[in-house]
Amino acid sequence: MRYLIFADIHGNLEAFLSLLKFTQKRKIDHYVFLGDMVGYGANPNEIIQKTRALKPISTIRGNHDKAVCGLDSVQTFNPIAASAIYWTKSNILKKNLDYLLRLKKGPQIINEQIAICHGAPFDEDHYIFGEFDASEAFSHIQTPICFFGHTHFPFVYTEKDGVVEGTFLMGKTNEIKIEKDVRYLINPGSIGQPRDRNPLAACAIYDTKAGKIKFFRLEYNIKEAMRKILREKLPPALAERLSMGI
Ligand SMILES: [Fe+2]
């Protein structure tokens, strides 16, 4: 089985199109999306429709998805994020809003090996930043692997004999080998708004036969994504950060 793992698209169509092009050249058996289809970017409707067309897919909701459909208060967001949520609320089609409303809350168990969540397994809105959060997360999952998103950083935490270690995945490609006596908490990074000072879209492929997870960074038309954000009069900072990967 080959799983495509991706997260945090945030309405960035250009980054998402690059992901779709990337997958065309590879055999993908199952798509796994970790939340936040919308918020920040200028194409929420296109992202929802194109994500829905990927089959088979496992999805969960992110905090921006929740806020846009009224399941979460916008007040918990900073002013720039809140302004993008208000813009998305007034530009999203009813059928797409209904789809966001139906997205499942994490964690979800995909099979005996894989669980998924947006923030953390114990709280869908919690950021896993560091070994302390990761230890807490490991105590809440039973599967050997849990994929998460939300932080927009490609990161792997391992747990072996009670020892938790985190590794930031720097550079254009990375690969990890899945070991039998190790548990994993894995963030593929963000498609639509990377924050690790690398502006390229991030995703991962888990090949169960090879027992490996490979991490990729994809070039995309960042200028066009920025231009649309400015054209829609979304906060200019949302365009600037795309070019810097922050
Ligand atoms: Fe996000």
R_g of the chain, CA atoms, integer Å: 17
Contact between residue 71 and residue 101 where contact means Cβ atoms under 8 Å apart:
yes
CA of residue 2 to ligand 1 center, whole Å: 24
Q: How many other C-beta atoms can be found within 10 angstroms of the C-beta atom of residue 36?
A: 29
CA of residue 179 to ligand 1 center, whole Å: 29
Domains of the chain: 2-214+231-244 (3.60.21.10)
Could you report the per-residue pLDDT of 176-233, keeping only the tens digit for each?
999 999 999 999 999 999 999 999 999 999 999 999 999 999 999 999 999 999 999 9
Q: Give me the amino acid identity at 168.
A: F
* Cα–Cα distance measured from residue 243 to residue 12, given in angstroms and rounded to the nearest whole number: 13
3-state secondary structure of 69: coil
CA of residue 118 to ligand 1 center, whole Å: 8
* Cα–Cα distance measured from residue 196 to residue 10, given in angstroms and rounded to the nearest whole number: 16
CA of residue 189 to ligand 1 center, whole Å: 10
- Please report where in the chains the tokens 């999203």 appear, as a residue: 92
**Ion ligand 1 residues within 5 Å by Cβ:** 8, 36
pLDDT averaged over every residue in the chain? 97
Could you report the per-residue pLDDT of 128-175, keeping only the tens digit for each?
999 999 999 999 999 999 999 999 999 999 999 999 999 999 999 999
Q: Which two tokens stand for residue 82?
A: 């809140």
What is each CA distance from 176 to 92, 150, 190, 219, in whole angstroms?
38, 21, 18, 22
Could you report the per-residue pLDDT of 57-111, keeping only the tens digit for each?
999 999 999 999 999 999 999 999 999 999 999 999 999 999 999 999 999 999 9
Q: Please count the residues of the chain.
A: 246
